[in-house]
Structure 1
Amino acid sequence: MSTLALKGTYWVTVRQYRRTLWLAAAAVAVSLAVIGGLRIWDAQTPDRYYEDGQRYAADDNRGYEALRLALEYGGMWLLLLPLLVGAFVAGPLVAREFESGTYKLSLAQSVSPTDWLRAKLLTATVIALLVTLALTGVFRIGWSRVSGSYNLDWSDRGPYEATGTVIFAYVLAAIAVGALVGQLIRRTLVAMAATGLVMGVVLLILGAFRWSFLTVKTVTGPAGPTLWAPENALMTDAGLLTTSGVRFDQSICWDEVNRTPGLDGMNDGGMKIFERCLAQHDVTSQYVDYHPQSHFWPTQLIESGILLALAALAAFAAFRVLRARHP
């Protein structure tokens, strides 16, 4: 067992932040108790069945609604995990050591600056990934029941991150960015805020552009009846097409309706003007752009790759800064 025990800087790091570890363990335990309890409550009310044999939660199943709400908020809270991890690494783990000068004690114990930082980051990485794995596991316990419901589709913010690999890549990127920012700023609170800001921007940017990584699929049909994307697909755009296949901007016809004097809504002749405008521009069909559910894992892997590249660059820069200041 002695070979499995933590030694040196690893042991010091765990001992130094044992309260944080206990808080993380408590968060996992509470999450498991809440989701497990809601699953039990949900199971007390039998499901109802459609004529084709598909089942759905009964209208009076309050346990299901509570579970769905808990997963909806739980997924959004998981998005904050990389920010919390990055802020902790940047602040208490790195910047505070430089701010207080306690890092000198470690370096005086025949530990090189590189070994000192490596031990801290490896310890933080293992613990952060284990906590992330536990929390995503708890999320999946509830997800298996409520997936596909309102705000809990595979492409929604929260469930998308919590059910794939990307949340782990965000955590790794946060650790590396935190290590770099902590060394550059060396002020605990400022480093924590800066790291949270950086990771928040990364979350927003990748969240905004992730559905541009892969080419969308398109389905077309005659103009008139509503055209739907395939089941479980993420619709990204919809509109009208001319006979030549060119996408038509409907605002042209809406503007013509709005410019017509004496109209009081679409039911007062506005619809006829709108349809006449469409006919004048040879609009005969419509389209829907969408991402099928099969795009989930390719998008996850592309986004994870971007984050791992960011993590590698930030970690490389962090060790370069350390060697430059403490050769």
Structure 2
Amino acid sequence: MSAITLRGPERLVVRQHRLVLWVSGALALAGIALVAGAWWFTSSAADDFAGTGCSVDHTVRGCGIQVRHFLSIEWHYSRLLDYAGLVMAALPALIGLFVAGPLIGRELEDGTYRISWSQSVSPARWLAAKLAVPGALTAAGVAVLSAVYAWGWSRTYETDYPAQSSEPLVYGAMGPVPVAHALLGLALGALIALLVRRTMASMALTVAVSLALTVAREAVRPGGYFWPLQLTETAVLLALAALATALAFRVLRRYHA
């Protein structure tokens, strides 16, 4: 999505925040490259280890150093996925932070939104553009990151440190749940910004609410099979995102009236 193919307020949103969008895209690509490169290195190390004739399960005399070195590489790959899971868990708060602060909160606090409203852009169209552009980019970007994480996670079963899909960091980084959670973070950021109308306060409250929601999700999640849980939680998160979005437009209409 580029400013060239967009019109009206959507194009303005991209132009105003193109640096953040470019940086975010570059960081996402760097993360994808890091996971892929880490697995390539781990896979190459496995081939080299197999060529030594040593075995992790049945270590023989003279293989201690090779076994420890190989297990260290696999362990570091497992830790990398843990860190990637933490980043995925933090994405809703980061997205909400951006929406509540630079995207909406700052315009409400500075009063620059009046410029858009006075140029034949209705308040509803203004807010729709503020949500549509980051919403589309968030859904597409997080879906790709989730798919890459799932691929990296599946590779752990070829190592001595397999990760279970029920682990909180793994579960929350795969499937449709991270996409729905990120969209909820976006909607909450918009709602809070419209309610508070102060940049820093909106950002702080958005982060607090997003983190509290993440903790609550982990506390109430029942046991069960991966995909039924994923689909159920995705439906709940999307319903909450839709509710937060509807409330944001309601708040906007109240202020405009």
What range describes the TM-score normalised by the shorter chain of this pair? 0.7 to 0.9
Q: Which has the larger radius of gyration?
A: 1
Q: Specify the alignment match of 1:245 in structure 2.
A: none
| 1:172 Cα offset (Å) | 1.2
Q: How does 1:1-327 map to 2 (within 5 A)?
A: 5-45=5-45, 46=47, 59-61=68-70, 62-147=72-157, 152-211=163-222, 291=224, 295-327=225-257
- Whether the 8 Å contact between 1:38 and 1:64 is mirrored in structure 2 is no
**Which letter maps to 2:37?**
G
- The whole-number CA distance in structure 2 between the counterparts of 1:316 and 1:142 is 37
Structure 1, unpaired ranges of 5+: 52-57, 215-290
| 1:140 Cα offset (Å) | 2.7
| 1:106 Cα offset (Å) | 0.7
SS state at 1:74 partner: helix
- The whole-number CA distance in structure 1 between the counterparts of 2:191 and 2:81 is 33
Structure 2, unpaired ranges of 5+: 59-66
Q: 297-306 or 80-89, which moves further after superposition?
A: 297-306
Q: Deviations over 1:55-94 (max 9, x none)?
A: xxx6532432222110011111210000000111111111
| 1:150 Cα offset (Å) | 5.1
Q: Deviations over 1:76-130 (max 9, x none)?
A: 1210000000111111111111101110111111010001100110101011112
Scaled by the length of structure 1, the TM-score of the pair is 0.68
Q: Give the number of the structure with larger relative contact order, counting CA–CA contacts within 8 Å between residues 6 or more apart.
A: 2
Q: 296-305 or 115-124, which moves further after superposition?
A: 296-305
Q: CA RMSD in A?
A: 2.3
Scaled by the length of structure 2, the TM-score of the pair is 0.86
Aligned residues: 239
**Greater strand proportion:** 1
Matched-pair identity in %: 38
| 1:174 Cα offset (Å) | 0.9
SS state at 1:136 partner: helix
- The whole-number CA distance in structure 2 between the counterparts of 1:315 and 1:35 is 34
